[in-house]
Amino acid sequence: MVTASLPVAGTLAEADNISVLLLGGRVRAGTLATVDHWTTKMLAGFVLDLAYIGANGISREHGLTTPDPAVSEVKAQAMRAARRTVFAGVHTKFGAVSFCRFAEVGALEAIVTSTLLPAAEAHRYALLGPQVVRV
C-alpha cells in the first residue's frame, strides 16, 4: 500500500498482512500528508492498481479541485500513475470548487459517497463516466 498520509501509514503499518510505503516530501500541517516535488517524483516511478482520491470539491463543470497547488500536483500524479481511480467524499464536496483543478470527473472509475447526495445529482455525475455508489 502506498500513501502520502502519515496517520494512514502509522495505522496500517501495525497490520501483519500489509506492507506500507510512505511517500516522501514536505509534511503539511493539519493533514500530515506529504507534498511537493519529492512526492510527485516517487509517484512517477510507480504503476498503481487502484488510487483512492479525495478532494476539497468535485463539480461536473470544474472536476476535482483542492485549494493547495502542491496537493493538487500530488493528486494529479497519483491519478496518472493509477490504472483505476476512485473518488471518495461526503455529499458536501459535490458542487464545491477550490483553486486548483487536478482531474476531470470522467477520469474516475467510480465515485463513492453517502446517500445524502440526491439520486438525481448522482445520476448527473454518472453520465460523465464513473459509476456512482451511494452508501
- What is the predicted pLDDT for the residue at 79? 97
Please name the residue that has the C-alpha cell 477520469: 107
Distance of CA 72 to the CA centre of its chain: 9
- What is the predicted pLDDT for the residue at 39? 98
Element (H, E) at 71: helix 69-81
Per residue in 6-64, pLDDT tens? 999 999 999 999 999 999 999 999 999 999 999 999 999 999 999 999 999 999 999 99
- What is the predicted pLDDT for the residue at 22? 97
Contacts 24+ apart (CB under 8 A), 39-43: 39/4, 39/74, 39/77, 40/73, 40/74, 40/77, 43/2, 43/74, 43/77, 43/78, 43/80, 43/81
Per residue in 80-123, pLDDT tens? 999 999 999 999 999 999 999 999 999 999 999 999 999 999 99
- What is the predicted pLDDT for the residue at 78? 98
- What is the predicted pLDDT for the residue at 58? 98
Alpha-carbon distances, residue 80 vs 7, 36, 47, 73 (angstroms): 24, 16, 9, 10
Domain extents in the chain: 2-134
Asked if residues 94 and 122 have their Cβ atoms less than 8 Å apart, the reply is no
- What is the predicted pLDDT for the residue at 81? 98
Q: Average per-residue pLDDT in the chain? A: 97
- What is the predicted pLDDT for the residue at 65? 98
